[in-house]
Amino acid sequence: MRFYGGRLRTVLYSRLVFGRWDINVDPDARVNGTEYMEIGRHFRAGRGLWLEAIDQYGEGGTAQRFTPRLVIGDNVSLSEYVHIGCVHHIEIGNDVLMGSKIYITDHNHGVYRGAHPDSPDVPPTQRPLTEGESIIIEDNVWIGEFCTILPGVTIGYGSIIGSHTTVTHDIPPKSIAVGSPAKVIKQWDEEKGAWVAAGHR
Protein backbone atom coordinates (compact mmCIF):
# COMPACT_ATOMS: atom_id res chain seq x y z
CA MET A 1 0.00 0.00 0.00
CA ARG A 2 2.88 2.37 0.79
CA PHE A 3 4.24 1.89 -2.75
CA TYR A 4 0.89 2.70 -4.35
CA GLY A 5 0.38 5.69 -2.04
CA GLY A 6 3.79 7.07 -3.05
CA ARG A 7 3.04 6.49 -6.70
CA LEU A 8 -0.27 8.34 -6.41
CA ARG A 9 1.42 11.30 -4.69
CA THR A 10 3.99 11.46 -7.49
CA VAL A 11 1.33 11.46 -10.20
CA LEU A 12 -0.77 14.11 -8.45
CA TYR A 13 2.26 16.32 -7.74
CA SER A 14 3.40 16.15 -11.36
CA ARG A 15 -0.10 17.01 -12.53
CA LEU A 16 -0.28 19.96 -10.13
CA VAL A 17 3.14 21.44 -11.04
CA PHE A 18 3.37 20.66 -14.75
CA GLY A 19 -0.29 20.18 -15.66
CA ARG A 20 0.45 16.82 -17.28
CA TRP A 21 -0.04 13.13 -16.59
CA ASP A 22 2.98 11.84 -18.53
CA ILE A 23 5.55 13.47 -16.20
CA ASN A 24 6.76 11.54 -13.16
CA VAL A 25 8.53 13.72 -10.57
CA ASP A 26 8.92 12.94 -6.87
CA PRO A 27 6.81 15.26 -4.66
CA ASP A 28 9.84 16.58 -2.74
CA ALA A 29 11.11 18.35 -5.90
CA ARG A 30 11.84 22.08 -5.98
CA VAL A 31 10.59 23.45 -9.30
CA ASN A 32 10.68 27.18 -10.06
CA GLY A 33 9.86 29.02 -13.27
CA THR A 34 7.78 26.45 -15.13
CA GLU A 35 6.60 29.19 -17.50
CA TYR A 36 10.14 29.21 -18.94
CA MET A 37 10.35 25.43 -19.35
CA GLU A 38 9.51 23.17 -22.28
CA ILE A 39 9.39 19.56 -21.16
CA GLY A 40 8.91 16.67 -23.56
CA ARG A 41 7.01 13.44 -23.14
CA HIS A 42 7.70 10.89 -20.42
CA PHE A 43 10.01 12.97 -18.23
CA ARG A 44 11.08 11.19 -15.02
CA ALA A 45 13.07 12.41 -12.02
CA GLY A 46 13.90 10.82 -8.66
CA ARG A 47 13.98 12.35 -5.19
CA GLY A 48 15.56 15.73 -4.56
CA LEU A 49 15.12 17.25 -8.02
CA TRP A 50 15.88 20.99 -8.12
CA LEU A 51 14.78 22.47 -11.42
CA GLU A 52 14.99 26.27 -11.65
CA ALA A 53 14.55 28.78 -14.44
CA ILE A 54 15.59 32.05 -12.82
CA ASP A 55 14.04 35.29 -14.09
CA GLN A 56 15.26 37.57 -11.30
CA TYR A 57 18.23 37.68 -8.94
CA GLY A 58 18.43 40.28 -6.19
CA GLU A 59 15.87 42.88 -5.21
CA GLY A 60 15.01 46.49 -5.89
CA GLY A 61 16.58 48.64 -8.57
CA THR A 62 19.78 46.59 -8.71
CA ALA A 63 18.02 43.27 -9.35
CA GLN A 64 19.11 41.31 -12.40
CA ARG A 65 16.36 40.16 -14.74
CA PHE A 66 16.55 37.24 -17.14
CA THR A 67 14.46 35.46 -19.74
CA PRO A 68 15.57 31.85 -19.29
CA ARG A 69 14.74 28.96 -21.59
CA LEU A 70 15.02 25.44 -20.22
CA VAL A 71 14.19 22.73 -22.75
CA ILE A 72 14.00 19.01 -21.93
CA GLY A 73 13.31 16.50 -24.69
CA ASP A 74 11.35 13.26 -24.77
CA ASN A 75 12.12 10.22 -22.61
CA VAL A 76 14.58 11.99 -20.31
CA SER A 77 15.29 10.20 -17.05
CA LEU A 78 17.06 11.74 -14.04
CA SER A 79 18.03 9.86 -10.90
CA GLU A 80 18.11 11.39 -7.41
CA TYR A 81 19.28 14.90 -6.41
CA VAL A 82 19.82 16.46 -9.82
CA HIS A 83 20.06 20.26 -9.80
CA ILE A 84 19.60 22.22 -13.03
CA GLY A 85 19.84 26.02 -12.84
CA CYS A 86 19.11 28.20 -15.88
CA VAL A 87 19.22 31.97 -16.45
CA HIS A 88 19.81 31.88 -20.22
CA HIS A 89 19.48 28.63 -22.18
CA ILE A 90 19.84 24.96 -21.26
CA GLU A 91 18.70 22.32 -23.71
CA ILE A 92 18.61 18.59 -22.99
CA GLY A 93 17.87 16.32 -25.94
CA ASN A 94 15.81 13.17 -26.29
CA ASP A 95 16.57 9.89 -24.52
CA VAL A 96 19.09 11.41 -22.10
CA LEU A 97 19.90 9.45 -18.93
CA MET A 98 21.43 11.04 -15.82
CA GLY A 99 22.66 9.46 -12.60
CA SER A 100 22.41 10.95 -9.12
CA LYS A 101 23.81 14.16 -7.61
CA ILE A 102 24.44 16.03 -10.88
CA TYR A 103 24.75 19.81 -11.17
CA ILE A 104 24.09 21.60 -14.46
CA THR A 105 24.32 25.40 -14.59
CA ASP A 106 24.58 28.04 -17.30
CA HIS A 107 25.73 30.76 -14.86
CA ASN A 108 28.10 31.56 -12.00
CA HIS A 109 28.05 33.87 -8.99
CA GLY A 110 30.50 36.47 -10.27
CA VAL A 111 33.15 36.77 -13.00
CA TYR A 112 36.61 35.31 -12.37
CA ARG A 113 38.43 35.90 -15.65
CA GLY A 114 39.15 38.77 -18.01
CA ALA A 115 39.89 42.41 -17.26
CA HIS A 116 37.11 43.05 -14.71
CA PRO A 117 36.79 40.08 -12.31
CA ASP A 118 34.70 40.23 -9.17
CA SER A 119 36.58 40.92 -5.95
CA PRO A 120 36.79 38.33 -3.17
CA ASP A 121 35.94 41.20 -0.80
CA VAL A 122 32.36 41.16 -2.14
CA PRO A 123 30.22 38.43 -0.52
CA PRO A 124 29.38 35.73 -3.09
CA THR A 125 25.63 36.30 -2.70
CA GLN A 126 26.14 39.95 -3.75
CA ARG A 127 28.11 39.18 -6.89
CA PRO A 128 26.01 39.36 -10.09
CA LEU A 129 25.08 36.18 -11.90
CA THR A 130 26.87 35.69 -15.19
CA GLU A 131 24.66 35.38 -18.24
CA GLY A 132 24.68 34.70 -21.97
CA GLU A 133 26.18 31.21 -22.04
CA SER A 134 24.25 28.09 -23.04
CA ILE A 135 24.45 24.39 -22.31
CA ILE A 136 23.41 21.90 -24.98
CA ILE A 137 23.18 18.18 -24.18
CA GLU A 138 22.34 16.33 -27.37
CA ASP A 139 20.28 13.15 -27.83
CA ASN A 140 21.26 9.78 -26.33
CA VAL A 141 23.76 11.19 -23.83
CA TRP A 142 24.44 9.34 -20.57
CA ILE A 143 25.80 11.35 -17.63
CA GLY A 144 27.14 9.41 -14.65
CA GLU A 145 26.81 10.22 -10.96
CA PHE A 146 28.36 13.26 -9.24
CA CYS A 147 29.01 15.15 -12.51
CA THR A 148 29.09 18.92 -12.97
CA ILE A 149 28.27 20.56 -16.30
CA LEU A 150 29.46 24.18 -16.43
CA PRO A 151 28.36 27.13 -18.62
CA GLY A 152 29.08 27.34 -22.33
CA VAL A 153 29.44 23.66 -23.26
CA THR A 154 27.89 21.25 -25.72
CA ILE A 155 27.90 17.50 -25.08
CA GLY A 156 27.59 15.79 -28.44
CA TYR A 157 25.18 13.07 -29.54
CA GLY A 158 25.57 9.68 -27.92
CA SER A 159 28.40 10.65 -25.59
CA ILE A 160 29.03 9.24 -22.12
CA ILE A 161 30.24 11.38 -19.23
CA GLY A 162 31.85 9.22 -16.55
CA SER A 163 31.03 9.68 -12.87
CA HIS A 164 32.72 12.50 -10.93
CA THR A 165 33.49 14.38 -14.17
CA THR A 166 33.50 18.17 -14.50
CA VAL A 167 32.65 19.30 -18.03
CA THR A 168 34.21 22.70 -18.79
CA HIS A 169 34.45 22.48 -22.61
CA ASP A 170 32.66 20.87 -25.55
CA ILE A 171 32.59 17.07 -25.80
CA PRO A 172 32.42 15.69 -29.37
CA PRO A 173 29.64 13.32 -30.41
CA LYS A 174 30.00 9.61 -29.61
CA SER A 175 32.77 10.13 -27.07
CA ILE A 176 33.52 8.91 -23.55
CA ALA A 177 34.89 11.64 -21.28
CA VAL A 178 36.15 11.41 -17.69
CA GLY A 179 38.05 13.52 -15.18
CA SER A 180 38.12 17.04 -13.85
CA PRO A 181 38.26 18.81 -16.21
CA ALA A 182 36.76 16.30 -18.63
CA LYS A 183 39.08 14.55 -21.05
CA VAL A 184 37.91 12.41 -23.98
CA ILE A 185 39.40 8.94 -23.59
CA LYS A 186 37.42 6.93 -26.17
CA GLN A 187 35.39 7.53 -29.31
CA TRP A 188 33.02 5.35 -31.29
CA ASP A 189 34.54 3.93 -34.48
CA GLU A 190 31.75 3.44 -37.02
CA GLU A 191 33.76 1.07 -39.23
CA LYS A 192 34.89 -1.17 -36.36
CA GLY A 193 31.64 -0.88 -34.43
CA ALA A 194 33.61 -0.39 -31.23
CA TRP A 195 34.86 2.20 -28.75
CA VAL A 196 38.54 2.94 -29.43
CA ALA A 197 41.09 5.03 -27.54
CA ALA A 198 40.96 8.71 -28.48
CA GLY A 199 43.48 9.53 -31.20
CA HIS A 200 43.69 5.91 -32.40
CA ARG A 201 40.75 5.80 -34.83
CATH number of the domain to which 70 belongs:
2.160.10.10
pLDDT tens-place string over residues 33-71:
999 999 999 999 999 999 999 999 988 888 999 999 999
pLDDT, tens only, 158-185? 999 999 999 999 999 999 999 999 999 9
Answer whether residue 15 is part of any domain: no
Task: With respect to residue 188, please indicate whether it lies within any of the assigned structural domains.
Answer: yes
What's the domain count of the chain? 1
Position 40 in a domain: yes
Q: What residues are paired with 84 via a beta bridge?
A: 51, 104
In tens, the pLDDT along 83-134 reads 999 999 999 999 999 999 999 999 999 999 888 899 999 999 999 999 999 9
| Residue 79 placed within a domain | yes
- Please report the DSSP string for the chain in residue order: -HHHHHHHHHHHHHHHHHS-SS-EE-TT-EEE-GGGEEE-TT-EE-TT-EEEE-SEES-GGG-EE---EEEE-TT-EE-SS-EEEESSEEEE-TT-EE-SS-EEES--BS--SSSSPPPTTS-GGGSPBP-S-EEEE-TT-EE-TT-EE-TTEEE-TT-EE-TT-EE-S-B-TTEEEETTTTEEEEEEETTTTEEEETT--
Whether 50 maps to a domain, the answer reads: yes
Max mean pLDDT range (123-127, 136-140, 189-193) = 136-140
Prediction pTM value: 0.91
* Position 11 in a domain: no
In a domain? residue 78:
yes
**Domain range spanning residue 98?**
31-57+64-112+120-197
- Asked if residue 82 is part of any domain, the answer here is yes
